[in-house]
Amino acid sequence: MVPSLVDGLELVGRGRVAALVGHLRDGAGVVDVDVPGPLGDFLAAEITDWLRRRDCWVLERPSGGAKGRWHLFFAHPDFRYAPVAARAGLAAEVSDFLIALAVDVKVPRHELDLRDAVRPLSSPHRHGAVTSPKGDLREALRGLKRVLPGRPAPSPLRPRVKIKPKYDQKAAPDTGSGLVIPLALQRWKRQLRAEWRQYLLTGEVPPGSWAAGSTKTRHAVAVDRSLVEAACTRELVWAIGNPETAWRIIRESHPTAMTKAKHQGYSWWIAYVWNESVRTAEMFTTTTDTKPRPVEIPPANVVDAVAAARQDLERLMWTVPARRRATLLLVGHQLLDRALRAGTLRVPCPERDLQLDCGLGDRKTIRAALARLNGRIGTLHTDCLSLVERDSTSYEFEINAAPSREGRQIPPPVLDPPPAARGLWLLLPRASHSLWRTLLTATTAMDLGDLVVKAGLVEAATDEPSKSQRSTAKAALVALSKAGMVRVDEHGRWKAATRPRSVQVEQDASAAYARQLETIEAERAAYRAGTTSSWSAGRARAIKAAKAREKAWWDNLSPAARADRAETKRLEFDQMSITDQAALKARLAERRIRAGIDELETYQTWLRTVPADDLVTRSLERKQRFKDLSPAERGASVAAWDRHRLRYGLTAQRFGTPGVDQRPTRPDVEQAALLPDGAAARDAAFLERQGNLLEQDPRQAAG
């Protein structure tokens, strides 16, 4: 399946692709006359006359097979194609007429067939024949514009019902001849200025002075079409730079636009208009004194960190369910793109800005994705949000620094993909982003099955894509191709591409972005005004009340009961695996944060309240448990604690370090700082000597 006629024509003649089949829009249909010989010519004339007497626009084109076989294109505002059992209105009338005519002349019914899919005019026959329609195509196009003034929107592809043929299958045509599944016709373009885009779409000449003096056929103030077309070509040179793409746009433009170029033909337009505009553009660029603005390259440490974070993100996606994977990748890559553009590891991440960038409709989804990314590819800083300065503060995300490059001087290549149009992710299927990102990093074109697995659409990396998953990926890839972001080759393999987007796609994306922006701006204004919803206030009150009940219940317990419960929970924690311990620590920390309790303050308060003897005992027990672990478990334990401390801001064990803890040091705090309880602040050699002293005389160490 290809997204446009241009893409399809480029594949004709490559591999097994021999012809294209297009899917007609509502309002248009085609009658396939498959009767060879003079009888077929007679039937085509009869059907054409019958359609025209019912005010239908008709275009006749030989099908390319034997003589007498025709494709009769017709259009009418009331025509809507449907399967045989569901046809109504004009479609039912056409179908009944064809059946009656086939019975009258004694030919099989399938030889006079009403269809909605047919070979386009510019596509050759599957056997190589090229046929031209009857009559003047320009006049036919003007007639079609009168019947259908506005181009109908593309209709979704209808599922094809496989019907077992009643005739001899040996005489049937070869089904493996390279036909392409029906496509939707689109107009492609690059960014043109609004007035010239309007001229090509509607034929309306932009405002300006287009008079070149009077002639025998033109008044002095009349518009000189040569000046208009030269100016339009100059705009195409600057905006596109590709004469073939520009000529396609001219050919598909409004009948009243670029009329002289269309009449003279491609060779004349290239020689006398395009080349002159190119020479003018080259002279302009070489005589200017201004130097091109240099491209700002992100710092090497940012490039390394972003590259490492993308690899971590690819590993992280397999730890979440497949249905949540697309949003996780979308939010994660948007954060990494922001870091590259800003050239820093720490960037603001307002939820509403991410909502606009990602095209997501719910901030809860973004918040959940940020929570999963926190502690994995970076740290989500929530302490920088000030409720007093709501209009200038937000959460910030800091990407983990990359490991040392060990003397490498040349930084890795920067993968800075072209930004998608605003609002485009709102229109595209959710799986489109992960597919596009996968193709961006691929060095060669990818088959559909490998692409589905690599993009994470399957549940596990070892799973085979199901039929449903392949269908979902194919629909998303077609949507991406219409947006100019991927393309398919003649072998059905996909690769990333950067090319002009469809006018309709860009207009729909802009409209969707405007609607979402209006909603978000209203929410942002209410947030900055300090308006709090009743639900949020009620939730905060409920959390506070639950925390108060928990504290009251704990305070009412006897010291013996508290010690017994603490010892029981401690033993349960020691019996857990390292992964379960990390999950429990994170869950308890999140509960305290939701209740408004600062995690670092809680930790420091607990540390100051523990007696020195108890702290020494706990440290010795932890050291012994650490020795009993295997080397692999030791590394996993250290990594888990490091991630936990980094995620919740518990990275400082030296309590006298400025900027981390400004409280005056006390003897018991200084003693705690010397104990082997945390990898972020201890010195390995000193702790080894300290541990040897404690093993030699535990009583003396305990006081």
Residue 126 has a pLDDT of 64
Question: Both 372 and 460 in a single domain?
Answer: no
Q: Is residue 375 part of a domain?
A: yes
**CA atoms of 333 and 354, how far apart (whole Å):** 11
Residue-number span of the structural domain to which 247 is assigned: 194-213+220-284
Q: Is residue 174 part of a domain?
A: no
Contact 332, 369 (CB under 8 A): yes
Number of folded domains that form the chain: 5
Question: Both 443 and 387 in a single domain?
Answer: no
Q: Which pTM was predicted?
A: 0.52
**CA atoms of 604 and 609, how far apart (whole Å):** 9
Phi and psi, residue 367, nearest 5°? -65, -40
Question: Both 235 and 269 in a single domain?
Answer: yes
The 10 Å CB-count burial string (b at 16+, else e) for 177-189 is ebbbebbbbbbbb
Question: Both 143 and 10 in a single domain?
Answer: yes
Q: How many CA atoms lie within 13 A of 118 on its CB side?
A: 25
Question: Both 589 and 614 in a single domain?
Answer: yes
- Going from the C-alpha of 324 to that of each of 209, 424, 664, the distances in angstroms are 57, 20, 47
Over residues 549-572, the pLDDT tens digits come to: 888 898 888 989 988 998 898 888
Over residues 70-127, the pLDDT tens digits come to: 888 998 888 888 877 778 888 888 888 988 888 888 888 888 888 888 877 777 766 5
Percent helix, strand, coil in the chain, to 5, is 50, 5, 40
Q: At what angle do helices 667-674 and 612-628 cross, to 10 degrees?
A: 10
Residue 634 has a pLDDT of 85
Q: How many CA atoms lie within 13 A of 487 on its CB side?
A: 17
CATH number of the domain that 74 lies in? 3.30.70
Please give the single-letter amino acid code of residue 406: E
**CA atoms of 614 and 596, how far apart (whole Å):** 29
Token code pair at residue 79: 């025509």
Question: Both 263 and 345 in a single domain?
Answer: no
Contact 320, 328 (CB under 8 A): yes
- For residue 442, what are the contacts with CB-CB under 8 A and spacing of at least 6? 454, 495, 496
Look at strands 117-118 and 22-23 and give their pairing. antiparallel
Question: Both 615 and 496 in a single domain?
Answer: no
- Domain boundary at 531, 546, 562, which? 531
Question: Both 476 and 524 in a single domain?
Answer: yes
Tokens 């200038």 label which residue? 392
Question: Both 128 and 198 in a single domain?
Answer: no
**CA atoms of 125 and 357, how far apart (whole Å):** 45
H/E stretch holding 508 reads helix 503-528
- Domain boundary at 404, 433, 466, which? 404
Q: Is residue 258 part of a domain?
A: yes
Token code pair at residue 694: 């404690």
- Domain boundary at 503, 531, 559, which? 531
Contact 243, 235 (CB under 8 A): no
Residue 700 has a pLDDT of 41
Q: Is residue 619 part of a domain?
A: yes
Adjacent-strand bridge partners of 318: none
**CA atoms of 9 and 124, how far apart (whole Å):** 9
Question: Both 452 and 423 in a single domain?
Answer: yes
Question: Both 246 and 336 in a single domain?
Answer: no
CATH number of the domain that 466 lies in? 1.10.10
Tokens 């996993």 label which residue? 636
Our measurement of the distance from residue 15's CA atom to the centroid of its chain's CA atoms, rounded to an integer in Å, reads 30
Instruction: Give the residue ranges of the chain where pLDDT is below 50.
Output: 161-190, 214, 218, 220, 285-295, 414, 652-683, 685-686, 689, 694, 696-703
Q: Is residue 672 part of a domain?
A: no
Q: Is residue 182 part of a domain?
A: no
Q: Kindly report the CA angle at 674 between 673 and 678, in degrees rounded to 5?
A: 65
Question: Both 596 and 636 in a single domain?
Answer: yes
Q: Is residue 568 part of a domain?
A: no
Q: Is residue 98 part of a domain?
A: yes
State the DSSP string of 134-197: SS-HHHHHHHHHHH-SSPPPPPPPPPPPP---SS-GGGSPPTTS-BPPPB----EE----HHHH
